């Protein structure tokens, strides 16, 4: 069932989203050559704790995973696409890092992700991140009252295909509210004009994940969580929680 939020709920979700934005900014600031992914998780934990927020990632245990997720961020480096577990790996010069973070504040959830390069960036990685951000912007621009889910999917997929990037077909965005994952699913490619019609008060997490090599397939690490490209090429993942409103799309996960 798709839950339409009241305007009061949208304001509460804006506050949850603000916490997520602050956590991601703190992680971005802390990320440097030699810093451990587990240290970045600690940075995000501090931000959530100080804000009185809870992590919707920590302890999350979907059916596909062998164990509950042990951290408050996903940290996916280089050929990892999404769902990387922040372990003791220390960042190296030129690593492409995607950080996904969520927060629950006063019962409402925010969910967002950023991709960036640590140290000296390979121009190819910058181009991949740029196309992933453009896909997100196109998806958000299509998140307007009267459009359908398929219009968002089509906008994201169009940018990805034009840039000759791959995308893992089984993963995409989602409704979000009191729970992190609600109806409807928001595929990252699809036909325009299809699917659930967007209306004021619908809140979606929109999250393109692009694979540099152009292939769509992926594999899971033995940990059951981390998804990697099969060709070893790098991936980027960016996400915002976005409210559909009569005044246009409103990004809730901004500072």
Binding segment for Mg ion among 51-59, 109-117, 120-128, 163-171 (CB under 5 A)?
109-117
Binding segment for Mg ion among 26-34, 55-63, 220-228, 237-245 (CB under 5 A)?
237-245
Position 100 contacts Mg ion (CB under 5 A):
yes
Whole-number minimum distance, CB 173 to Mg ion, in Å?
A: 6
**How far, CA to CA in Å, does 202 sit from each of 120, 138, 157, 175?**
40, 18, 21, 8
Whole-number minimum distance, CB 102 to Mg ion, in Å?
A: 6
Query: Total number of residues binding Mg ion (CB under 5 A)?
Result: 6
- Site pattern 44..83 for Mg ion (x: CB under 5 A): ----------------------------------------
Whole-number minimum distance, CB 254 to Mg ion, in Å?
A: 15
Q: What SS3 state is found at 27? A: helix
Whole-number minimum distance, CB 52 to Mg ion, in Å?
A: 20
Of the candidates 66, 93, 65, the one whose C-alpha atom is nearest the C-alpha of residue 78 is 93
CB 17 within 8 Å of CB 206: no
Position 155 contacts Mg ion (CB under 5 A):
no
CB 13 within 8 Å of CB 110: yes
Binding segment for Mg ion among 96-104, 141-149, 150-158, 164-172 (CB under 5 A)?
96-104
Whole-number minimum distance, CB 239 to Mg ion, in Å?
A: 5
* Residues in CB range of 9: below 8 A, 6 or more apart: 108, 177, 201
In angstroms, how far is CA 31 from the centroid of its own chain?
18
Cβ distance to Mg ion smaller for residue 175 or 190: 175
Cβ distance to Mg ion smaller for residue 124 or 143: 143
Of the candidates 216, 254, 239, 234, the one whose C-alpha atom is nearest the C-alpha of residue 127 is 234
Whole-number minimum distance, CB 76 to Mg ion, in Å?
A: 11
Q: At what angle do helices 37-51 and 7-30 cross, to 10 degrees?
A: 140
Cα angle: 180, vertex 183, 185; to 5 degrees? 95
Binding segment for Mg ion among 3-11, 50-58, 64-72, 203-211 (CB under 5 A)?
203-211
Query: Hey, which residues between 10 and 49 contact Mg ion (CB under 5 A)?
Result: none
* Residues in CB range of 172: below 8 A, 6 or more apart: 153, 185, 186, 187, 188, 207
Structural tokens at position 93: 């010069």
Whole-number minimum distance, CB 207 to Mg ion, in Å?
A: 5
Position 111 contacts Mg ion (CB under 5 A):
yes
Burial state string for 175-195 with b = 16 or more CB within 10 A and e = fewer than 16: bbbeebbbebbbbbbbebeeb
- The single residue among 156, 205, 212, 242 that binds Mg ion, judged by CB under 5 A, is 205
Query: Hey, which residues between 163 and 202 contact Mg ion (CB under 5 A)?
Result: none
Q: Kindly list the residues in this chain that would bind Mg ion in the complex (CB under 5 A).
A: 100, 111, 113, 205, 207, 239
């Amino acid at each position: 069932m798709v839950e339409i939020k009241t305007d009061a709920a949208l304001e509460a979700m804006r506050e949850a989203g603000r916490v997520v934005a602050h956590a991601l900014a703190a992680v971005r600031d802390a990320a440097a050559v030699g810093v451990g992914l587990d240290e970045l998780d600690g940075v995000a934990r501090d931000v959530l704790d100080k804000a009185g927020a809870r992590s919707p990632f920590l302890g999350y245990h979907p059916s596909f995973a062998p164990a509950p997720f042990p951290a408050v961020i996903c940290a996916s480096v280089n050929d990892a696409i999404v769902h990387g577990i922040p372990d003791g790996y220390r960042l190296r010069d030129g690593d492409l890092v995607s950080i996904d973070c969520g927060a629950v504040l006063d019962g409402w959830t925010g969910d967002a992700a950023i991709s960036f390069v640590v140290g000296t960036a390979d121009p190819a990685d910058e181009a991949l991140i740029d196309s992933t951000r453009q896909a997100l912007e196109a998806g958000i621009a299509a998140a307007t009252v009267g459009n359908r889910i398929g219009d968002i999917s089509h906008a994201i997929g169009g940018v990805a295909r034009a840039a000759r990037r791959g995308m893992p077909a089984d993963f995409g965005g989602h409704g979000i509210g009191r729970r992190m994952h609600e109806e409807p699913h928001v595929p990252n490619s699809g036909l325009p004009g299809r699917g659930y019609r967007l209306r004021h008060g619908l809140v979606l997490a929109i999250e393109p994940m692009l694979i540099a090599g152009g292939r769509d397939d992926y594999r899971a690490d033995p940990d059951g969580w981390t998804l990697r490209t099969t060709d070893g090429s790098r991936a980027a993942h960016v996400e915002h929680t976005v409210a559909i409103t009569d005044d246009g799309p409103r990004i809730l996960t901004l500072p």
